[in-house]
Structure 1
């Protein structure tokens, strides 16, 4: 995903309401623009206030016409929840990468007996993609002192797969988070890079 090949880089960010999907996609878009790219972003909130599905498409290149990623064209699928990674796997290109938190959020339909949580999600993702990154991000974030750091940890991992300058990532994170959480978010970002 280097700048020299001038192809559009497509990152699909998925999760459920309240996990920080939109914030993560805004940070990624800002980093791409700060790095001199044209960036477009689109999001679907669903029932985000009730833990419903949230998706955000981020595309960047020298010139981007549409914010929407077509099925089979995502370079990176960045998922905040394990079954959401499985649900959106068809958007990944054959050479694309999956980064997913191992967190499982059981949907209300499962509790109501109208479905079941996919127990084999990790195995299916491994079968369908090369080198997926599974990370137990929530316990890592809690160990750092704030469960909301999951998105920064995941962005740290994604930053190692995207040809965007490290200083741009850190500058945007510092600008986007409340002052009292700046240092903690930078630590979480570096922790994600170490995991990768």
Structure 2
């Protein structure tokens, strides 16, 4: 009996070590910066970061968006800023805030390779809680390319809009490429976009707070 209890406790301890190890390693990698040597004197464009407390998103002025991204997007003429986020299909749609999180959706998103969506929100002007990032033309081009490649296209080469799934009147969801898991989250997608665009970022992070702090 005692031996059985010992085995059970060891098993429980092993199970608990998995999330603890993930948390500790992710924090360490979050605080290791990359792309620190950017020459800010050449940065004449602005992009922005925003978070709703769950999902971090990248905002780009319409005038700086690649026409390939704008093509097929739903928007009005007065909407001048486009916010892009990426995430698990069910988690994104059913969990707009932490208060909507359920154990099943959280577990599924983190530990199962799930299908994904791009969340696009349009604004007529900048918002006070956005973190501005000054970048150059080459970085802007790389960021446009990164976002463009994340849209999943149909057999005719068109973006796939999912009507009626937006939270408000100024946002929509589109089919996306890639799969979501605990190593590739909505926030690590943003971080990867910054890294690949040679913009200051974390070595790797599943969180939003460090990226926002870097650029505020």
| Structure (1/2) with the larger helix percentage | 1
Q: Which has the higher contact order (CA 8 A, sep 6+)?
A: 2
**TM-score, with length taken from structure 1:** 0.30
**TM-score, with length taken from structure 2:** 0.28
